[in-house]
Structure 1
Amino acid sequence: MGWTLSLATSGRALPAMAAGQTTGRHPDGLPGHRQGILAACGRHPPDQTEQRAPETDKTNGNTGLMISYLTLPEAASAAHKTRHNEAGFTLLEIMVAMVVLTMIISTAFGALRLAERSWEAGLKHAGETERLRTVSAVLQRSFSQILALSWSENTKTHIAFSGDQKQLRFIAPAPQHHGATGLFEYTLVVAPHAGSNRLMLYYRLHDPDHIGFAADGSDRQQVLLVDELKTASFAYYGSPVTGDPAQWHAQWNTDAEAFPRLVHMRIVSPPEQGQWPDLFLALHTELSK
């Protein structure tokens, strides 16, 4: 509901309105209540170059001035919008924006951390694969070069190979990285260390004048093949006695009549390191007494 106030004069024309004041009709032909909206919002229409003459009331010939106002609810709403625009963001809006920003940052850091873990896992897997390849290559080379040597003691012949579930011994040429010539005695052993186990390879120069393997001593050199093992074991496939069917054995002694055909090495690592595949190492010896 609008309110309209009419001011009339008796036969006298009202003076022209000053620039920026409201009349019954806007200088641009807009209704007067549009100017009321501008006034309620604290804005004023631009200055006009010419003024329109007041309209004449055709019923009684008097010149009248029509002033229109907005309804009270419309004026209150316009004023509220003006104050809201001037006040900026509310506390609730700021809190919502902070929550959204926090979620975005958390998601970004989570993605970065996931990428970092994937990269670390890839490097670890690559390192374990390279270590497995290296150890397997060293053992395959060493076992393929085992020499079918033997010696006699008290009318008994002994082969230059012995082993059980935790260690084995054999004679082969010098290690590839050593640079020396001659034959070396090797001992591959599962050794306890700091609550876990290690796969160690010991070697020393072989003395051809000595009968049997040399006693363990400080003169031998060592190579760490695998560290932090849960356990490891060896098994031997072949026929210790000539004519017997070949089968797997937990132990192979120097008094056997032949070398084993295969050596099975089983390595068990902690769960966080991943499992090693079983290694089957072939011996290229066919010695029988």
Structure 2
Amino acid sequence: MTEPAHPDSGFTLLEIMVVLVVFGLLSLALWTGIGVGTRGWRSGEQLSVSVQQAQDTEDVLRRVLTRADISDEGGAPSLTGEGDRLRAVSWLAQGGGYAHEAEIGLGVNAKKQLVLRWRTYVRTRCPRPDEAYQEEILISGLQGVDFSYFGMADGSMGWHKSWSSTSLPQLVRVHFHFIKAGQRWPDILIHPLLSGNAEPS
């Protein structure tokens, strides 16, 4: 008595090809998802760095401009500024306090960086030593910066695009123009402590 014929065991070539195609599609979807996740993580990391850099810059500007000093009697204005740059006399941190009075300057350089320059401040009647400015880069990636000044100048109380009065402005406003599209930071409003108590209308 003959035994019934059994079909050949194993997969056909067509079945193997289908499995390979399905496996390939699943692998592609998996790696694409991982790539998107990695790019998202990197973008988030870059954003975090930018936010931290902007916050650190704001902290420095507040420390410097809040402690801006008043002008010497009969001397030049201690704080002068245009829309894209500012010069002031201020107290810089030293040894846990503010015992170092310096002439400071702020502006964006050719490398699109906001730079703080400073050197020891010398009073009007004192000889100036031959001292070069020191520099610190505060933030990069700026198209520019706008400074504006609130106070009494040219017979009017309000916001001004430049400042050259011997009195300090009530407020200094700083606005960053970033190169990267969509990157923003709120305007920074700083009140110099020695400027008085007038409020903007």
Give the shorter-chain TM-score range: 0.7 to 0.9
Looking at structure 1, the residues matched to 98 and 67 of structure 2 have their Cα atoms a distance apart, in angstroms, of 15
Equivalent residue letter for 1:103: L
Q: Of residues 233, 239, 247 in structure 1, which corresponds to 2:146?
A: 233
Post-superposition CA distance 1:13-36 (Å, at most 9, x none): xxxxxxxx4xxxxxxxxxxxxxxx
Higher strand share: 2
For residue 17 of structure 2, give the secondary structure of its aligned residue in structure 1: helix
Q: TM-score, normalised by structure 1?
A: 0.61
Q: 1:207 to 1:257 in 2, by over 3 A?
A: closer
Within a 5 Å distance, the mapping from 1:27-106 to structure 2 comes to 39-41=3-5, 82-83=6-7, 85-86=8-9, 88-106=10-28
Equivalent residue letter for 1:202: R
Q: Of residues 221, 236, 251 in structure 1, which corresponds to 2:162?
A: 251
Give unmatched runs, 5+ long, in structure 1.
1-20, 22-37, 42-81
Please tell me whether the aligned partners of residues 240 and 257 of structure 1 are also in contact (alpha carbons under 8 angstroms): no
Q: Does 1:268 align with 2:181?
A: no
Looking at structure 1, the residues matched to 27 and 102 of structure 2 have their Cα atoms a distance apart, in angstroms, of 62
Residue correspondences, number = 196
Q: 1:252 to 1:180 in 2, by over 3 A?
A: closer
Identity %: 22
Looking at structure 1, the residues matched to 141 and 100 of structure 2 have their Cα atoms a distance apart, in angstroms, of 33
Q: Of residues 37, 53, 59 in structure 2, which corresponds to 1:137?
A: 59
Please tell me whether the aligned partners of residues 108 and 142 of structure 2 are also in contact (alpha carbons under 8 angstroms): no
Looking at structure 2, the residues matched to 176 and 274 of structure 1 have their Cα atoms a distance apart, in angstroms, of 33
For the pair shown, the structure with the greater C-alpha radius of gyration is 1
Residue 218 of structure 1 and its aligned partner are, at CA, apart by 6.9
Give unmatched runs, 5+ long, in structure 2.
197-201
Looking at structure 2, the residues matched to 151 and 189 of structure 1 have their Cα atoms a distance apart, in angstroms, of 27
The ranges of structure 1 where at least 4 consecutive aligned residues each deviate by more than 4 angstroms after the TM superposition are 176-180
Please tell me whether the aligned partners of residues 103 and 120 of structure 2 are also in contact (alpha carbons under 8 angstroms): yes
> Which residue in 2 is equivalent to 1:221?
134
Looking at structure 2, the residues matched to 112 and 246 of structure 1 have their Cα atoms a distance apart, in angstroms, of 58
For residue 89 of structure 1, give the secondary structure of its aligned residue in structure 2: coil
Residue 178 of structure 1 and its aligned partner are, at CA, apart by 9.1
Looking at structure 2, the residues matched to 236 and 139 of structure 1 have their Cα atoms a distance apart, in angstroms, of 14
> Which residue in 2 is equivalent to 1:117?
39
Structure with the greater relative contact order (CA < 8 A, sep ≥ 6): 1 or 2? 2
Residue 261 of structure 1 and its aligned partner are, at CA, apart by 0.9
Residue 177 of structure 1 and its aligned partner are, at CA, apart by 7.2
Looking at structure 2, the residues matched to 189 and 275 of structure 1 have their Cα atoms a distance apart, in angstroms, of 18
What's the Cα RMSD here? 2.7
> Which residue in 2 is equivalent to 1:79?
none
Q: 1:209 to 1:235 in 2, by over 3 A?
A: closer
Q: TM-score, normalised by structure 2?
A: 0.85
